[in-house]
């Protein structure tokens, strides 16, 4: 079940390095793409950084709306992530449709932004762009403030992921290459060692 | 065994979102810190982005030298990562020593930069800062070009991670919070699905 995540804990949704889906909407159009290059940028207020290539249809929607959603997909969605990561929304938009329609991807309304949030993910972060036009142009890099966050409490609650308590299909995806992903497995705890 | 990684494949060392160690050296001083907030920024020439807080001793060494190394530690190093991530090199430097000495951390010379590379990691990326002074100041965010890369061929070869063929102690660390890490587990393959 989806539950709000307090903003100071939102960075933990991305801290372990999952591949994300990026969605955006503007002027009656919407799109969805995959991105392995996303990370937290600050704790509180939470901020994120994500690379969105200039060739993507999503890029224009982000620049026009000033907002986007990052969502953390799970193993059950590996085909969906690979599909939206390897197809463009531009020809679909020109034909008057979009990836949500042609691939039957369910979504629901965000709380504070226009971007659609994808059903079946395990976390959602609503983001408002912090404008760095030169940075966007030079490196395709977008910085944003997280203004709302939610997570599926079967795998994230009390500020922590706990994949071991739920179905493996709910584990996050960590893209290596070519549509291959690693899922989180064993957990280990590091200790602070005193100097010798 | 350490092997060079061709630069166009270097992004794959970070693509699945591992926590990294950041090392830097300048003027006879050196330091090592942990960072969960690092990601690829471009393919070829490869670039990276990493958050290095202004309070860290490493930050000054990076700004003074214009370079740093990112290295990908493994499960066997969970205590090392947690230790260097929770202690400061500044008081040690003032006492004429450093984390490498007081924690007995072995290292070897980088090929193209001054930063020490840590023994026992599974990948190493030598990075030269791409100066964005305003970005560094506003968001503690550093962009850099990767000028050399190496990986341990027991777990990374031919451009791919293959953790299933080696000891679990060589798996990468993905920090959740409080010194707890998830290791990569099962692999899944996503397919591109035709529109409905």
**In whole angstroms, how far apart are CA A79 and each of A146, B189, B192?**
27, 8, 6
Question: Is A106's Cβ below 8 Å from some Cβ in B?
Answer: no
Which residues of chain B make contact with A83, given a CB cutoff of 8 A? 190-193
Domains recognised in chain B with CATH numbers: 2-182 (2.30.110.10)
Pair of tokens at residue B111 = 């090929």
Output the pTM of the full model.
0.97
Query: Is a pLDDT exceeding 80 seen at residue A47?
Result: yes
pLDDT for A55-82, tens place per residue? 999 999 999 999 999 999 999 999 999 9
Evaluate if residue A196 carries a pLDDT over 80: no
CB of A36 within 8 Å of a chain B CB? The answer is yes
Query: Chain A within 8 Å of B166 (Cβ-Cβ)?
Result: no
Q: Which residue of A has its CA nearest to B85?
A: A192
B155 touches chain A (CB under 8 A): no
- Report the alpha-carbon distance of residue B36 to residue B173 in Å, rounded: 9
For range A188-194, the mean pLDDT: 95
Half-sphere exposure of B56 (CA within 13 A, CB side): 23
Report d(CA B182, CA A49) in Å as an integer.
Answer: 22
pLDDT the model gives residue B196: 73
**Chain A residues touching residue B191 (CB < 8 angstroms):** 78-79, 82-83, 179
Residues of A (40-69) whose Cβ lies below 8 Å from B = 40-42, 47, 49, 51
- Whether B89 shows a pLDDT value over 80: the answer reads yes
Closest-CA residue of chain A to B164: A182
The per-residue pLDDT for range A4-33, each reduced to its tens digit, is: 999 999 999 999 999 999 999 999 999 999
pLDDT at B195: 85
In A, which residues are within 8 Å of B163 by CB distance? 182
B100's tokens? 């490498």
Chain B residue numbers with beta carbons less than 8 Å from the beta carbon of A102 are 195-196
Min Cα distance A132 → chain B (Å) is 9
Name the residue facing A160 among B81, B139, B176 (closest C-beta).
B176
Q: Which two tokens stand for residue A66?
A: 């000033």
Q: Does B105 touch chain A (CB under 8 A)?
A: no
Q: B2-4 and B20-26: which strand pairing?
A: unpaired
- Give the whole-angstrom CA distance, residue B34 versus residue B26: 18
């Amino acid at each position: 079940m989806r539950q709000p995540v307090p903003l100071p804990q939102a960075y933990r949704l991305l801290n372990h390095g999952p591949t994300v889906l990026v969605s955006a909407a503007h002027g009656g159009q919407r799109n969805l793409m995959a991105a392995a290059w996303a990370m937290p940028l600050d704790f509180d207020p939470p901020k994120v950084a994500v690379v969105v290539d200039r060739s993507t249809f999503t890029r224009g929607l982000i620049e026009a709306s000033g907002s986007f959603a990052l969502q953390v997909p799970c193993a059950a969605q590996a085909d969906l992530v690979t599909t939206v990561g390897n197809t463009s929304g531009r020809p679909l938009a020109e034909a008057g449709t979009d990836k949500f329609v042609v691939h039957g991807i369910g979504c629901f309304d965000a709380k504070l932004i226009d971007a659609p949030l994808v059903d079946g993910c395990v976390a959602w972060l609503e983001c408002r762009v912090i404008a760095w036009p030169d940075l966007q142009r030079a490196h395709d890099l977008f910085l944003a403030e997280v203004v709302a966050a939610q997570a599926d409490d079967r795998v994230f609650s009390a500020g922590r992921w706990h994949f071991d308590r739920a179905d493996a299909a709910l584990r996050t995806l960590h893209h290596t290459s070519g549509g291959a992903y690693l899922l989180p497995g064993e957990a280990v705890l590091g200790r602070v060692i005193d100097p010798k």
